[in-house]
Amino acid sequence: MHRNELTFDMIGVLKKIADKFLPELFQRVRNELGVRNLKLLDYVFKHYYLKGESGGRWYDSYHVLFSTHFAVQLLKSGEPVSPLIIPAIILHDIGYRVLTEEGKANWSAAENRIIHMQEGAALAAEILVKINSFNADEIGVVVGMVASHDNVYLDILNEQNPSRLALRDADRMWVMHFLSFYKDWISSHKEISSLSELLELRKDSLRNAKGPYTNLAQRWLSQQFEIRFQEIQDNIIRDKDVFQRYGEKQIPAELELK
Domain for residue 258, yes or no? no
pLDDT of residue 115: 84
Domain for residue 83, yes or no? yes
Domain for residue 12, yes or no? yes
Domain for residue 193, yes or no? yes
Domain for residue 108, yes or no? yes
Whole-angstrom distance, CA of residue 231 vs CA of residue 94? 31
Whole-angstrom distance, CA of residue 17 vs CA of residue 29? 18
Cα-based distances in Å from 12 to 1, 56, 108, 175, 197: 19, 17, 22, 19, 23
pLDDT of residue 190: 63
Domain for residue 219, yes or no? yes
Domain for residue 71, yes or no? yes
Domain count along the chain: 1
The one-letter amino acid code at 8 reads: F
Q: Find the domain containing 144 and state its range.
A: 3-253
pLDDT by residue for the chain (258 residues), tens only, comes to: 677 788 899 999 999 999 999 999 999 999 999 999 999 999 999 988 876 555 678 899 999 999 999 999 999 998 889 999 999 999 998 888 876 666 666 666 777 788 888 888 999 999 999 999 999 999 999 999 998 887 777 667 666 788 888 888 999 899 999 999 999 998 876 677 789 999 998 888 776 666 688 999 999 999 999 999 999 999 999 999 999 999 999 999 888 865
What CATH number is associated with residue 117?
Answer: 1.10.3210
Whole-angstrom distance, CA of residue 245 vs CA of residue 236? 9
